[in-house]
Chains A and B, each alone.
Chain A
Amino acid sequence: MVKRRNWTRRELLRSSAAAAGTLVLSGAAGPLAFAQGSDEIRVGVVGCGGRGSGAAHNCVASSPGVKIVALADAFEDRLKRLKDQFKVPDDRCFVGLDAYKKLMALDDINLVILATPPGFRPKQLAEAIKQGKNVFMEKPVAVCPAGIKMVIEASKLASQKGLGIVAGTQRRHQHEYVETMKRVLDGAIGEIVSAQCYWNMGGLWVNERKPGQGDVDWQIRNWLYFTWLSGDHITEQHVHNIDVVNWAFGDVLPETIHGIGGRQYRTDPKYGNIFDHFGVEFTYPGDVRTISTCRQIEGTAGNVSERVVGTKGVTNCAGVIQGENAWRYRGPRSDPYVQEHTDLIKSIREGKPLNEGERIAGSTLCAIMGRESAYSRQQFKRSWFMNRCTLDLLPPDDLKLSDAKPVPPVAIPGQYELPGMGQRG
């Protein structure tokens, strides 16, 4: 269990100085991705929107000796705020869809924050690992099975290269969740026989199309609403809760998926082609069936939570266990959005980099499978989806903001084709 480090300003300064001193002695013994001659964490931010900016500040606040030194974004205007805040020079700010490559080519960067729309994540992660960078990446990490495979491969490579990967599923770094899960995995609620998870909420921001704006330009600025960019809201948001349930099962993934869903209320074309609700049944080994719902409809009842039921008790996964081994978390609480960076940087500095890549790929996969089951109203096995489903929504390498890209139709069962379904057998 990682304890929160409550750095005072003075400690922070002292620690940085000490760290700098230590490194002179330890020299080349430091992990591969360290900038030469310093344990300073030099961060490049890829994707400078709301979440990227948040992550950059969280990262800096998390540990001493962290500096934001380069920025990349598809749009210059999105990059400006971080540029001013962290005084990043012009020649280290990159704009365009290939900006991430230029940023990752910089030798002095040893950590990248990936916070662009998730459709871009697999290729950006692969590039980061290729360039020897540690990675903090936002969830989800892909929107299609082709992307999932790329993330898994990059994560394996990261392990070989001794690089750290932490994903923005912050519950995995939130003390009350960590302590609860430790107990659940130790059998505090017995054998798991049922579980539920939800992300039911109202609406989110929308960027309406401006006159003359190209397809790709508009879709990236309004990325939540296009499956190829966000993975739909089940992937973009609900992955958090699905990830918690997977955690309770010891990160064993569901074997069978059956979902339904649709677009009943949020039907305006400005909302792209995603659904406004999903309900998915995930069946884990031993025929343990779980409930998952997510909804984005303004004015409806909210619920963002998880619940796991065992033969000996029940937990909300976040600090409360009821039943034979009743327990309540009473320890310290920290900001999990900061804690995930603290944990990553600590692990890098200790030379034991965390690698959450395959785990977050698994949870992202579950969300994608739920979506595709709901789009097609087909039930399928995870093994089928990974081995036979040929769905590939990865953006082409030469994608341009000016490219034409018609919005795909909203999925209708009987019309929506799940690529590879014909080979089902």
Chain B
Amino acid sequence: MSSQANSVSGTKAGVAAAAAAMAGMAHAQGSGKIKVGLLGCGGRGNGALRHCLQADPDVEVIALADLFEDKVRRTRDRIMREEKFQDRIKVDDDHMFWGYDCHEKLARCEADLLCMATAPAFRGRQMMAAIKAGKHIFTEKPVATDVAGCREVIAASKLAESKGLAIVCGTQRRHEFSRLELMKRIHDGAIGDLVGGQCYWYGGGIWFRGAEPQMSELDWQCHNWYHFTWLSGDQICEQHIHNIDVLNWCFQGPPAKFMAVGGRQWRSSNEDQVRTAKAVCRKYTGSEENWEKFNGDIWDHIYAEFEYPNGARCLSFSGHSPGKGRNGEKIVGTKGTSDCNHNINGENAWRYEGKNVNGQQQEHIDLIKSIRAGKPLNEGVRIAESTLTAIGARIAAFTGQVITWDWLMKESKQSLVPSQADLMAGKPLYHPIATGRDPMV
């Protein structure tokens, strides 16, 4: 990919931002404009940006960043054409950033709030750079793909806490009124002691992207990010985290122990995917000989058991393939059960009858309100823990071992994501497909 010569550090904006950062202040409480920068101009980033704009009339977009220049330009062009937003889009040419260091450039601009929606692999270093520069954060889930990344997010969140900065995460269920009311009741004992539960995200599949002409091999990996564990965290982390997060919410913390089985036959033999992988192989190697390397390494199903500190064992059921799709949660107590959404069955039967909101909108409203009120929400540790829950289950499946939370937090040395220097050097990275009895790292 073409590297970007411009850098905000040499601009007036950069100087102003650096000054703001030194003062340790992004937009603090009160009214006034909130300047927003978007990091990650794909589908989710564009969605998040619009929800952010709709959340508060005084939000202005001042910077856009993505790995790929064309995505940045396309995002600005498109949103400028949207009547309801166009007068709040103030992205100058020198506030468009791309390349593997775009997050560093973005952190140096004068934005108050950054919306992060790139592939999750880089979230830890992105968040750390942003918090150091004094930005509030909205981040998409998950926030890491490996243990090291989770630890970095926890560190960044603690730093945000000390600097009075907000972190809200795109686990929108946490902002839905019905679930908030429901969880209050569950935590108050409406279904008794929690003794079981289930959560599911099983779907039909996901895109598998080929390489575009100008892309380097690493660019292609990032473009096709879902299919590499180091980039997406695998499906259990990337998607199923929503449902896992709901179970953790019920139990008010992460599991103590993980056991899991899983595999990936369907992805390995999915004809459309194999055809694309072969074409990519031809592009970068000149033949199809090693096409499997280009076929991604994520699994297609993981069946995990979470054991929470109180001894309750819960099912996590996730994957992609043809077959029956599932999505949802259920929590089981000694006095009743709940769909974790708006119903309680049993002794204290209850149904949410209040107003429903779109959680993906509400999370931005809550974030900005909290900033303006001077009581910044900080969901960073919580989402790092839910991310690590998904990663813990994945490690249990990949290794065939029982994994404990203590081991994850204290002993695991797992670090899958290339260093910033390796990324800048454009080195592609392939981990072998997990066997089901990989060593514990």
Contacts and interface: CB of A to CB of B under 8 A. Distances in A.
Interface of A: 190, 193-194, 196, 200, 258, 260-265, 276-279, 281, 287, 289, 291, 293, 295, 297-301, 303, 307, 309, 311-312, 314, 376-379, 410, 412-415
A309 B261 contact: no
B401 A193 contact: no
B326 A193 contact: no
B265 A297 contact: no
A258 B261 contact: no
Contact of A264 (B198, B262, B333, B402): B262
B321 A377 contact: yes
A128 B437 CA distance: 44
A375 to B, nearest CB: 10
B303 A260 contact: yes
Q: Which of B260, B312, B324, B400 has the most CB of A within 10 A?
A: B400
Which are the 8 A-B pairs with shortest beta-carbon distances? A279-B303, A377-B323, A300-B400, A262-B263, A194-B196, A264-B263, A414-B322, A277-B261
Contacts of A415: 269
A414 B305 contact: no
Given A279-B303, A291-B315, A414-B266, A265 B436 contact: yes
Given A298-B437, A303-B259, A413-B266, A377 B400 contact: no
B326 to A, nearest CB: 7
A295 B402 CA distance: 13
Nearest to B193: A311
B210 interface: no
A258 B401 contact: no
Interface of B: 192, 195-196, 198, 202, 259-266, 269-270, 299-301, 303-305, 311-313, 315, 317, 319, 321-324, 326, 330, 332-335, 337, 399-402, 434-437
Given A262-B263, A262-B265, A295-B261, A312 B311 contact: no
Contacts of A278: 261, 303
Contacts, number: 136
Given A311-B334, A377-B321, A301 B261 contact: no
B196 A297 contact: no
Contact of B266 (A287, A312, A412): A412
A279 B302 CA distance: 8
A281 B315 contact: yes
Given A260-B202, A281-B317, 11 more contacts: A200-B259, A258-B317, A260-B303, A261-B263, A262-B263, A291-B313, A293-B305, A298-B437, A301-B259, A314-B311, A378-B323
Nearest to A275: B263
Contact of A414 (B198, B321, B337, B402): B321
A277 B262 CA distance: 7
A264 B321 CA distance: 15
12 contacts: A193-B334, A194-B313, A194-B332, A261-B263, A262-B301, A279-B304, A279-B317, A301-B401, A311-B192, A378-B323, A412-B265, A414-B270
B200 to A, nearest CB: 9
A189 to B, nearest CB: 10
Contacts of A298: 437
A263 B266 CA distance: 11
A378 B324 contact: yes
Contact of B301 (A200, A260, A300, A378): A260
A258 B326 contact: yes
A310 B265 CA distance: 37
Contacts of B303: 260-261, 278-279, 293
B437 A297 contact: yes
B437 A279 contact: no
Most buried by A among B192, B332, B401: B332
A411 B434 CA distance: 20
Contacts of A297: 400, 436-437
A410 B265 contact: yes
Contacts of B402: 301, 303
A258 B311 contact: no
A279 B435 CA distance: 17
Contacts of B323: 376-379, 413-414
B340 to A, nearest CB: 14
Contacts of A258: 317, 324, 326
